[in-house]
């Protein structure tokens, strides 16, 4: 599916739409570090490094684009774009690190100026997209589609994403947060994801789709529970393609997970991989993640391509690591790349989106993303 997704979006993507502008700031502007002010180093000249919950990695040894390298020995940092572009980076120096403490949510200080962001979809285009999904549901074509927009803004050449990562970690308790900077691979990512795409421990694999988000559990709608069950079933079907018969099961359905300022409904699907299942086959069976595509997945991807005018890139893809340092006990943890910033040259991007079902209100869904 990874290569198929890449071909699918390359052939179907529409281009050429102007990006409307919005003025808002999801995080305060990050100031330059002392080294940057002195002009000694730009972001993409810095030493490559990666950080996950309890691991840090340095010293790049190898950069590859083929998912088959994920079966080779070593510690591989993985960035897999929604359209199927995979980058795998093998690091030689991997160490344990203490997780960052999270402070209570707070409002952005008033003295931080508003920043102009360009949006791939303005409000009216997004509302039209939601209406198109509801029409397709009424026709019986799809059951659910995740519709997203990409925000972007220009940043100084020495804009410090390490400082942004620190600010995000101070304010977010996303279990699967990550910081990946690999200049030689063009990767500069800050991720605060609360959602597990795939975890592997030996032959056991787990996925943890999130569907349903509200400020409190009491504010969850019936739609949220229904959507969660629908996507959990999709994930279960995906894993059954590569797991031993009878081993795939749901462990915890619509379980509330509380974070500062919000609560999510999370389900976990586990299974035992069939003998000698390689990584390219596992990714082909499960990617893109069901929670950020829709059901049925192939039809949902067609709708996404018709509604969204630009590639999502790393947003809604996967960020994490595959750890094959002990060949007898391979491990991996890949997050769904939501709540994620990424840098390309002097452009900083951030994706936002929502799952659309028949019960979705086009105007209300548009307001969630404003």
pLDDT at 29: 41
What CATH number does residue 26 fall under? 3.60.120.10
pLDDT at 20: 55
Mean pLDDT of 338-364: 91
Question: What token pair was written down for 257?
Answer: 């997970």
- pLDDT at residue 28 tops 50: no
- pLDDT at residue 111 tops 80: no
Distances (CA, A) of 127 to 17, 220, 364: 16, 22, 9
For residue 340, which phi and psi values (nearest 5 degrees)? -130, 130
Peptide bond into 288 cis (omega under 30): yes
Question: What token pair was written down for 291?
Answer: 């929670």
Question: What token pair was written down for 248?
Answer: 């795939």
- Other C-beta atoms within 10 Å of 20: how many? 15
Residue 204's pLDDT band (cuts 50, 70, 90): very high
Residue 285's pLDDT band (cuts 50, 70, 90): very high
pLDDT at 368: 52
Proportion of the chain above pLDDT 70, given as a percent: 82
pLDDT at 162: 93
Least confident of 114-128, 174-188, 294-308, 356-370: 356-370
- Are 271 and 239 a contacting pair, CB within 8 Å? yes
Peptide bond into 321 cis (omega under 30): no
Residue 23's pLDDT band (cuts 50, 70, 90): very low
For residue 7, which phi and psi values (nearest 5 degrees)? -65, -40
- Are 178 and 336 a contacting pair, CB within 8 Å? no
pLDDT at 169: 86
- Are 8 and 89 a contacting pair, CB within 8 Å? no
User: How far is Cα 144 from Cα 353, in angstroms, rounded to an integer?
Assistant: 13
DSSP β-bridge partners for residue 257: 264
- pLDDT at residue 207 tops 70: yes
Taking only the tens place, the pLDDT of each residue in 44-62 is 568 999 999 899 999 999 9
Helix H or strand E segment including 249: strand 249-250
Total domain count for the chain? 1
User: How far is Cα 25 from Cα 361, in angstroms, rounded to an integer?
Assistant: 25
State the angle between helix axes of 2-12 and 279-286 in degrees (0 to 180), rounded to the nearest 10.
50
Which of 97, 288, 58, 95 lies closest to 181, judged by CA? 58
pLDDT at 6: 61
Taking only the tens place, the pLDDT of each residue in 133-189 is 999 999 999 999 999 999 999 999 888 899 999 998 888 778 999 999 999 999 999
- Are 77 and 49 a contacting pair, CB within 8 Å? no
- pLDDT at residue 101 tops 80: no
DSSP β-bridge partners for residue 269: 207, 250
- Are 178 and 330 a contacting pair, CB within 8 Å? no
- Please report which residue ranges of 207-255 form alpha helices under DSSP H: 222-240
pLDDT at 16: 46
Taking only the tens place, the pLDDT of each residue in 209-219 is 999 999 999 99
User: How far is Cα 366 from Cα 12, in angstroms, rounded to an integer?
Assistant: 24
DSSP letter at 29? P
DSSP letter at 112? S
pLDDT at 17: 47
Residue 271's pLDDT band (cuts 50, 70, 90): very high
- pLDDT at residue 109 tops 60: no
User: How far is Cα 216 from Cα 258, in angstroms, rounded to an integer?
Assistant: 8
User: How far is Cα 75 from Cα 94, in angstroms, rounded to an integer?
Assistant: 8
User: How far is Cα 363 from Cα 97, in angstroms, rounded to an integer?
Assistant: 44
> Could you identify the residue written with the tokens 């969204």?
308
Mean pLDDT of 83-103: 86
Least confident of 172-186, 296-310, 330-344: 172-186
pLDDT at 361: 81
For residue 212, which phi and psi values (nearest 5 degrees)? 110, 110
- Are 265 and 220 a contacting pair, CB within 8 Å? yes
- pLDDT at residue 33 tops 60: no
For residue 200, which phi and psi values (nearest 5 degrees)? -125, 130
Residue 367's pLDDT band (cuts 50, 70, 90): very low
* Number of alpha carbons in the 13 Å side-chain half-sphere of residue 167: 15
Mapping DSSP to helix (H, G, I), strand (E, B) and coil, where does residue 355 land?
A: strand
Question: Structural domain of residue 355, as residue ranges?
Answer: 2-368
Residues 6+ positions from 222 with CB-CB distance below 8 Å = 359
Residue 369's pLDDT band (cuts 50, 70, 90): low
pLDDT at 363: 72
* Helices and strands (H, E) in the chain, number of each type: 8, 21
């Amino acid at each position: 599916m990874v290569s198929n997704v890449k071909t699918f979006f390359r052939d179907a993507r529409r281009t050429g739409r102007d990006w409307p502008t919005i003025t808002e700031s999801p995080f305060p502007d990050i100031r330059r570090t002392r080294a940057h002010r002195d002009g000694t180093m730009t972001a993409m000249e810095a030493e490559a490094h990666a950080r996950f919950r309890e691991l840090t990695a340095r010293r790049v040894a190898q950069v590859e684009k083929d998912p088959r390298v994920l079966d080779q020995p070593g510690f591989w940092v993985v960035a897999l774009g929604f359209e199927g572009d995979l980058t795998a980076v093998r690091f030689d120096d991997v160490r344990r690190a203490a997780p960052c403490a999270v402070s209570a949510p707070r409002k952005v200080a008033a003295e931080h100026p508003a920043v102009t962001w360009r949006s791939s979809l303005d409000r009216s285009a997004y509302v039209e997209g939601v209406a198109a999904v509801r029409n397709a549901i009424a026709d019986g074509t799809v059951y659910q589609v995740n519709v997203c927009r990409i925000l972007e803004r220009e940043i100084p050449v020495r804009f410090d994403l390490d400082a942004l990562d620190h600010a995000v970690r101070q304010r977010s308790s996303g279990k699967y947060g990550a910081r990946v900077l690999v200049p030689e691979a063009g990767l500069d990512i800050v991720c605060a994801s609360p959602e597990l795409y795939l975890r592997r421990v030996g032959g056991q694999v787990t996925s943890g789709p999130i569907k349903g988000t509200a400020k409190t559990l009491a504010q969850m709608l019936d739609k949220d529970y229904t959507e969660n069950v629908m996507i959990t079933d999709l994930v279960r079907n995906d894993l059954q393609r590569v797991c031993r018969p009878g081993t795939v099961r749901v462990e915890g359905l619509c379980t509330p997970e509380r974070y500062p300022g919000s609560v999510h409904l999370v389900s976990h699907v586990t299974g035992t991989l069939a003998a000698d299942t390689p990584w390219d086959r596992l990714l082909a069976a499960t990617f893109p993640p069901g929670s950020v595509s829709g059901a049925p997945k192939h039809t949902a991807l067609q709708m996404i391509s018709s509604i969204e005018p630009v590639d999502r890139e790393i947003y809604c893809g996967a960020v994490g690591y595959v750890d094959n340092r002990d060949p007898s006990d391979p491990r991996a943890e890949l997050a769904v790349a939501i709540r994620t910033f990424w840098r390309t040259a002097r452009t900083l991007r951030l994706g936002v989106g929502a799952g659309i079902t028949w019960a979705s209100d086009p105007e209300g869904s548009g307001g969630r993303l404003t």
